[in-house]
């Protein structure tokens, strides 16, 4: 985020024009900002969240800088040490640990992903009660607990602010309000996901992260480098339809996930996105990190009818397990690829 370190675009390529939502105005309950947020969540499913007008902007900016430093150091650990915290050994919810490069479906070599990632459970860092839920982790993540807890606290406040604003703008009342499915004091399957995309030579270009919609409620993404691309709502799945979402100083990139789309009967849009190289250019090593907020595990979601022959109700936790089944190369199934992408006409490359 901060800053002068965001590189200028190198060439002409299609970029997404997203609305900029001011978190301070949402916190101040400015009605016009609520309306702007709702229209971004309905129309694009993506928006920039601008932090630069917050009184504690500098503090937050330093926290974000600290997480960038932390992820570089973490991914620099030996492969052997990283694999001793393998995410797939901690069960199907994938809330904690390391995923090596190439384990998911993706466009590198026509079939695999091009990134390493590390999941850090919110409940391990910022527990819902005074009892910290222990999770296995390297010393580095133990020593940086205070930084991570501060980051998670900010994420908790921002996501609650967004749910309040969206619920009010949609006229949701009482038990329908989105805040009630994402309570700060309740156990949560939300995570911070750290990502390192490996460099690609121009001769081996492909989507490092496969086209997908996010499975949760809200994603708050931090990156200083281009690579993220979005397919606008309703666009045909053609190469020329994809738009780059450029990093914006002082802002996170926020998107709506499947959870909120299903909880609002499809009113809010869970947009299809992927990560890949800029047109005609090699892709350098790229770092990003995302707070992936998910609804409490037992929240009921309704899978839309156009995707299932009969409408089906499932829990947020079950949707998470299904989606992960589709992401992994060894359990991916073509006939149900809509689970990954929200549509049947987009292949996972």
Residue 263 interaction partner, one of Fe ion, ligand AKG, none, beta carbon < 5-8 Å per kind: none
Q: State the nearest-atom distance from the C-beta of 212 to Fe ion, in Å.
A: 6
Residue 193 interaction partner, one of ligand AKG, Fe ion, none, beta carbon < 5-8 Å per kind: ligand AKG
Note whether 140 and 148 are within 8 A (CB).
Answer: no
Residues 213-252 close enough to bind Fe ion by CB under 5 A? 214
Distance between CA atoms of 5 and 223, rounded to whole angstroms? 10
Q: Which residue has the CB atom at the shortest distance from Fe ion? A: 214
Q: State the nearest-atom distance from the C-beta of 221 to ligand AKG, in Å.
A: 6
Who's near 155: CB < 8 A, 6+ residues apart?
A: 122, 190, 192, 220, 291, 293
Q: How far is CA 202 from the centre of its chain?
A: 27
Closest among 157, 96, 149, 159 to 127, alpha carbons compared: 149
Positions in the binding site for ligand AKG (CB under 6 A) = 193, 195, 209, 214, 221, 223, 227-228, 273, 275, 288, 290
Nearer to ligand AKG (CB atom), residue 178 or residue 283: 283
Q: Which residue has the tokens 């709502």?
A: 233
Q: State the nearest-atom distance from the C-beta of 215 to ligand AKG, in Å.
A: 9
Residue 189 interaction partner, one of Fe ion, ligand AKG, none, beta carbon < 5-8 Å per kind: none
Residue 221 interaction partner, one of Fe ion, ligand AKG, none, beta carbon < 5-8 Å per kind: ligand AKG
Applying CB under 5 A, does 113 fall inside the site for Fe ion?
no
Q: State the nearest-atom distance from the C-beta of 227 to ligand AKG, in Å.
A: 6
Helix (H, G, I), strand (E, B) or coil at 226: coil
Alpha-carbon distance values, 145 to 114, 120, 135, 190 (Å): 28, 11, 12, 16
Nearer to Fe ion (CB atom), residue 33 or residue 214: 214
Note whether 93 and 122 are within 8 A (CB).
Answer: no
Helix 57-75 to helix 145-170 angle (10° resolution) is: 120
Q: State the nearest-atom distance from the C-beta of 44 to ligand AKG, in Å.
A: 15
Task: Give the pair of three-digit tokens for residue 303.
Answer: 């899978």
Note whether 45 and 233 are within 8 A (CB).
Answer: yes
Nearer to ligand AKG (CB atom), residue 227 or residue 259: 227
Q: Mask 190-219, x = binds Fe ion (CB under 5 A)?
A: ------------------------x-----
Q: State the nearest-atom distance from the C-beta of 214 to Fe ion, in Å.
A: 4
Q: State the nearest-atom distance from the C-beta of 209 to ligand AKG, in Å.
A: 6
Nearer to ligand AKG (CB atom), residue 61 or residue 229: 229
The upper half-sphere exposure of residue 321, i.e. CA atoms within 13 Å in the direction of its Cβ, equals 11
Nearer to Fe ion (CB atom), residue 156 or residue 214: 214
Q: State the nearest-atom distance from the C-beta of 93 to ligand AKG, in Å.
A: 16
Nearer to Fe ion (CB atom), residue 116 or residue 214: 214
Note whether 89 and 83 are within 8 A (CB).
Answer: no
Note whether 197 and 226 are within 8 A (CB).
Answer: no
Residue 195 interaction partner, one of ligand AKG, Fe ion, none, beta carbon < 5-8 Å per kind: ligand AKG
Note whether 218 and 293 are within 8 A (CB).
Answer: yes
> Nearest 5°: phi and psi at 294?
-120, 155
| Interface ranges with Fe ion (CB under 5 A) | 214
């Amino acid at each position: 985020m901060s800053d002068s370190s965001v590189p200028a675009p190198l060439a002409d390529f299609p970029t997404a024009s997203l609305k900029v939502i001011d978190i301070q105005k949402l916190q101040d309950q400015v009605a016009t900002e609520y309306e702007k947020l709702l229209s971004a969540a309905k129309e694009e499913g993506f928006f920039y969240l601008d932090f630069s007008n917050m009184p504690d902007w500098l503090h937050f900016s330093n926290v974000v800088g600290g997480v960038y430093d932390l992820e570089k150091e973490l991914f620099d650990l030996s492969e052997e040490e990283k694999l001793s915290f393998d995410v797939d050994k901690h069960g199907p919810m994938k809330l904690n640990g390391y995923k090596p490069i190439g384990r998911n479906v993706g466009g590198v070599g026509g079939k695999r992903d091009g990134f390493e990632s590390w999941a850090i459970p919110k409940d391990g860092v910022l527990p819902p009660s005074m009892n910290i839920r222990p999770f296995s982790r390297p010393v580095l993540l133990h020593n940086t607990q205070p930084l991570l807890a501060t980051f998670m606290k900010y994420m908790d406040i921002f996501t609650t602010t967004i749910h309040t604003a969206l619920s009010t703008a949609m006229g949701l009342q009482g038990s329908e309000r989105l805040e009630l499915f994402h309570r700060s004091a309740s156990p949560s399957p939300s995570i911070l996901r750290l990502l390192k995309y490996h460099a690609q030579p121009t001769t081996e270009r492909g989507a490092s992260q496969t086209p997908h919609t996010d499975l949760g409620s809200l994603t708050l993404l931090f990156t200083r480098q281009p690579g993220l691309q979005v397919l606008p709502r309703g666009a045909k799945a053609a190469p020329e339809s994809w738009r780059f979402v450029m990093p914006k100083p002082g802002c996170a990139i926020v998107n709506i996930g499947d959870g909120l789309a299903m909880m609002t009967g499809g009113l809010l849009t869970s947009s299809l996105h992927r990560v890949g190289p800029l047109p005609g250019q090699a892709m350098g090593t790229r770092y990003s990190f995302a707070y992936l907020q998910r609804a409490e595990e037992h929240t009921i979601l309704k899978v839309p009818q156009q995707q299932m022959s009969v409408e089906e109700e499932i829990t947020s936790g079950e949707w998470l397990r299904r989606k992960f089944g589709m992401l992994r190369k060894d359990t991916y199934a073509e006939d149900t690829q809509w689970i990954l992408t929200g549509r049947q006409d987009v292949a996972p490359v």
